[in-house]
């Protein structure tokens, strides 16, 4: 497999080079006696994800004025966070029974659920190995471990609220805050602190990351209602069958509970026809537009936070990738 | 649920009290917004495991001469290692499709595989939170993270070598060294270093733990060939159907490959009758006795390592629980 980073970084050669170092650092920590297993995990590392979280870490590591010696540390922190992200993706794919990710067959499809579960666990450990080797302090590490706990409790929360038709918009926002926004916030914050940014700047980076993560997840959920399995690379509407009701649907449920609740009560038994009907109701009640407006609000909050950070090339890059990301159509 | 530790600790009131502190420390770190989820995980903590690994940590934390202020640290390290063990058990139960553990329904039986996968992940993070809060140094933490990686690669190795009829005794020993002995070794070693034991004493504790773990796993596998599902609390012979060939069977395969290989080639399709036949061949070829002899060798090595440690009450306790553990019949 040829080593490469996602084409979205073509226009940013410095970030692209650093992201390659990030992937190489992850790879250098994957050392498994059985070379067959090692190569499966190596393929995962280079499987072409967007590397958004490590990119935010790297960009935010230019907020402060730390010396270039800190460069390696920011690459390490970015590598640890990407490893964590990979670990959760591998487990998510088992849970969602997803067959492909970035057009490649998922690990559990290739090697079975058991292999995927332990591979994810292994990657969790690699994440902590990298962090403990490079973190600036035990306190920083504890902070990271606690953040990761929040990500997992977000996932658990989501599972536990499946098929809950009384779920409110507030519940949804709290869920995605743990599940997605937390890791974006940690990525930005960790970058800032490796650069010796001030406390206030680090908090601004945290907030920016949180808002980006919120907008990102809402857009992801919105696109599920717009795209088909080809443009999105994962089966749309899968969430609904699994009882995960996202923002566009929640708005529709608010508007037409009497039509939607009996349909949703079918749970896994929802037919293609039912799903088409649900999509029509979401369209009719303008669920997608309303959700998009919420995403827009978070995007604006993110850009407002970004505006407070010190000027520099990194800031322009952050602005570009953030606006592109949150206005994407796929 | 009444808080209690396993009855095997009744005769050791000091250890029993410390183990209770260990469980309480784990519990104090489990803080989840959704109280329903929190209580499922709390039940797991108090579900009545033997707590062997934290007990070894606590006992080995009396090797050195550290002040009593270090007591909290040894309880924390023991808590982290037990949390790690719980995380792997939750995932193991998903992988083995086990319905009960310690006579309680497993998490995945109660709440589904998805919940179990994320709960295990959450416990991994809790383990690291506890470690990073209480570890003496980043180097100690890195050591722990690397040890955990070895445990997972042991599990991955085991999965990858399933149904491999050419597996040798050496492969088996290397597999259980990662999968089981590693955590016993880390438990003993970590106890020793929190007590400021000498480098040589810490290495002796490591070796002792490694030998105990090896003997423990071999005995576990031996008991699978002796017990029935009632005395063992888990379905015997499950390993064979899953293609995990343990030591008694490996010896039988060496002695009668022509009879066993065609039988084992049936994999998941093995009938009860086939399994009975396999058990008879293992008995005929004295596979169980041969495996027990290997366990005995490791037990003796463990006791020899133990003998090198400084005298004290902890040493007598270590001797008693180790000999009881490795001569158990259930």
> What pLDDT score was predicted for residue B126?
94
Instruction: Indicate yes or no: CB of A141 within 8 angstroms of CB of B141.
Output: yes
Check residues B284 and B109 and name the one with the higher pLDDT: B284
Residue B233's pLDDT band (cuts 50, 70, 90): very low
Instruction: Indicate yes or no: CB of B115 within 8 angstroms of CB of A159.
Output: yes
3-class DSSP assignment, residue A228 = coil
Q: Which two tokens stand for residue A188?
A: 């930005």
Q: Among candidates B8, B257, B38, which has minimal Cα distance to A152?
A: B38
| Residues 256-295, chain A, touching B (beta carbon < 8 A) | none
Instruction: Indicate yes or no: CB of A117 within 8 angstroms of CB of B94.
Output: yes
Rounded to 10°, the helix A13-29/A35-45 angle is: 160
Measured in degrees and rounded to the nearest 5, phi and psi for residue A231 equal: -75, -25
Q: Which two tokens stand for residue B284?
A: 């005929």
Mutation choice for A interface testing from B98, B119, B125, B146 by most A CBs within 10 A: B125
Check residues B198 and B104 and name the one with the higher pLDDT: B198
Q: Are B154 and B176 in contact (CB under 8 A)?
A: yes
Rounded to 10°, the helix A199-226/A182-194 angle is: 150
A52's CB contacts (< 8 A; 6+ apart) are A184, A216, A321, A325
* CA-to-CA dists, residue A194 to B114, B140, B150, angstroms: 35, 22, 29
Q: Which of A78-87, A155-164, A278-287, A299-308 has the lowest mean pLDDT?
A: A155-164
Is A145 an 8 Å CB contact of chain B?
yes
- pLDDT at residue A92 is higher than 80: yes
- pLDDT at residue A229 is higher than 50: no
Question: What's the average model confidence in pLDDT over A136-161?
Answer: 84
- pLDDT at residue B228 is higher than 60: no
> What pLDDT score was predicted for residue A236?
52
**Nearest-CA distance B11 → chain A (Å):** 36
Question: What's the average model confidence in pLDDT over B151-157?
Answer: 85
Instruction: Indicate yes or no: CB of B156 within 8 angstroms of CB of A87.
Output: no
CB-nearest to A128 from B33, B114, B145 is B145
The angle subtended at Cα A313 by Cα A312 and Cα A316, nearest 5°, is 100
Instruction: Indicate yes or no: CB of A115 within 8 angstroms of CB of B159.
Output: yes
Say what percent of chain A tops pLDDT 70: 94
Rounded to 10°, the helix B71-96/B13-29 angle is: 70
At the topology level of CATH, where does A7-326 sit?
Farnesyl Diphosphate Synthase (1.10.600)
- pLDDT at residue B235 is higher than 50: no
CB-nearest to B124 from A121, A138, A174 is A121
Size of the A and B interface in Cβ pairs below 8 Å = 151
Mutation choice for B interface testing from A81, A98, A135, A141 by most B CBs within 10 A: A141
Q: Among candidates B148, B141, B139, which has minimal Cα distance to B83?
A: B148
Partners of residue A124 in chain B, C-beta under 8 Å: 121, 124-125
Partners of residue B149 in chain A, C-beta under 8 Å: 122, 125-126, 129
CA distance B326 to B119: 31
CB-nearest to B114 from A120, A135, A159 is A159
Q: Nearest residue of B to residue A91 by CA position?
A: B117
Residue A184's pLDDT band (cuts 50, 70, 90): very high
Question: What's the average model confidence in pLDDT over A308-330?
Answer: 89
Q: Which of A94-98, A151-155, A225-229, A305-309 has the lowest mean pLDDT?
A: A225-229
> What pLDDT score was predicted for residue B3?
63
For residue range B81-108, list pLDDT tens digits in order.
999 999 998 998 887 777 777 777 887 7
Q: Are B232 and B102 in contact (CB under 8 A)?
A: no
Instruction: Indicate yes or no: CB of A132 within 8 angstroms of CB of B141.
Output: yes
Partners of residue B138 in chain A, C-beta under 8 Å: 132-133, 135, 137-138, 141
- Kindly state the helix (H) or strand (E) to which residue A105 belongs, with its residue range: strand A104-105
**Nearest-CA distance A247 → chain B (Å):** 20
CB-nearest to A129 from B91, B121, B145 is B145
Partners of residue B159 in chain A, C-beta under 8 Å: 112, 114-115, 118
CA distance B211 to B298: 5
ipTM over 0.90: no
Q: Are B246 and B172 in contact (CB under 8 A)?
A: yes
Mutation choice for B interface testing from A76, A86, A97, A121 by most B CBs within 10 A: A121
CB atoms under 10 Å from CB of A307, counted, come to: 12
Partners of residue A42 in chain B, C-beta under 8 Å: none
Is B15 an 8 Å CB contact of chain A?
no
Is B145 an 8 Å CB contact of chain A?
yes
> What pLDDT score was predicted for residue A63?
95
Is A25 an 8 Å CB contact of chain B?
no
For residue range B116-136, list pLDDT tens digits in order.
899 999 999 999 999 999 887
**Nearest-CA distance B321 → chain A (Å):** 30
Partners of residue B88 in chain A, C-beta under 8 Å: 121
CB-nearest to A145 from B88, B128, B137 is B128
Instruction: Indicate yes or no: CB of A160 within 8 angstroms of CB of B34.
Output: yes
How many CA atoms, within 13 angstroms, populate the side-chain half-sphere of residue A223?
Answer: 19
| Residues 148-187, chain B, touching A (beta carbon < 8 A) | 148-149, 152-153, 155-157, 159-160, 174
| Residues 93-132, chain A, touching B (beta carbon < 8 A) | 94-95, 112-115, 117-122, 124-126, 128-129, 131-132
Q: Among candidates B270, B295, B264, which has minimal Cα distance to B169?
A: B295
For residue range A106-126, list pLDDT tens digits in order.
877 777 788 889 999 999 999
**Nearest-CA distance B172 → chain A (Å):** 14
- Kindly state the helix (H) or strand (E) to which residue B105 belongs, with its residue range: strand B104-105
Mutation choice for A interface testing from B92, B145, B163, B167 by most A CBs within 10 A: B145
Measured in degrees and rounded to the nearest 5, phi and psi for residue B105 equal: -60, 140
CA distance A114 to B97: 10
* CA-to-CA dists, residue B120 to A128, B33, B272, angstroms: 16, 17, 33
Partners of residue A144 in chain B, C-beta under 8 Å: 132
Classify each residue of A155-172 as buried b or exposed e, where b means 16 or more C-beta atoms within 10 Å of its C-beta: bbbbbbbbeeeebeeebb
Residue A227's pLDDT band (cuts 50, 70, 90): low
């Amino acid at each position: 497999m040829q080593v490469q980073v996602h084409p979205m970084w073509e226009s940013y050669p410095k970030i692209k080079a650093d992201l390659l170092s990030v992937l190489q650092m992850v790879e250098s920590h994957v050392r498994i006696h059985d070379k067959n297993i090692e190569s499966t995990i190596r393929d995962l590392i280079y499987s072409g994800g967007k590397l958004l979280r490590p990119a935010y870490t790297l960009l935010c590591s230019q907020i402060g004025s730390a010396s270039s010696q800190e460069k390696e540390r920011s690459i390490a922190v970015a590598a640890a966070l990407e490893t964590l992200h990979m670990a959760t993706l591998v487990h998510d794919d088992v849970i969602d029974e997803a067959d492909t990710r970035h057009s490649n067959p998922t690990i559990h499809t290739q090697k079975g659920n058991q292999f995927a579960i332990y591979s994810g666990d292994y990657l969790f450990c690699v994440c902590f190995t990298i962090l403990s080797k490079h973190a600036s302090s035990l306190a920083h590490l504890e902070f990271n471990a606690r953040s990761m706990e929040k990500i997992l409790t977000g996932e658990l929360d989501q599972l536990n609220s499946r098929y809950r038709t009384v779920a409110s918009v507030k519940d949804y926002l709290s869920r995605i805050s743990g599940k997605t926004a937390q890791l974006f916030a940690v990525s930005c914050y960790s970058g800032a602190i490796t650069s010796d940014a001030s406390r206030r700047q680090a908090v601004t980076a945290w907030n920016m990351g949180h808002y980006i993560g919120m907008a990102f997840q809402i857009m992801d959920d919105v696109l599920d209602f717009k795209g088909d399995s080809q443009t999105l690379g994962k089966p749309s509407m899968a969430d609904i069958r699994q009882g995960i009701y996202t923002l566009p649907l929640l708005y529709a449920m608010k508007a037409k509970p009497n039509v939607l609740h009996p349909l949703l009560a079918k749970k896994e038994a929802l037919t293609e026809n039912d799903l088409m009907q649900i999509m029509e109701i979401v369209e009719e009640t303008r669920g997608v537009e309303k959700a998009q407006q919420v995403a827009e609000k978070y995007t604006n909050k993110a850009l407002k936070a970004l505006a407070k950070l010190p000027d520099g090339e990194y800031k322009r890059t952050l602005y570009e990738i953030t606006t592109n990301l949150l206005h994407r159509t796929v």
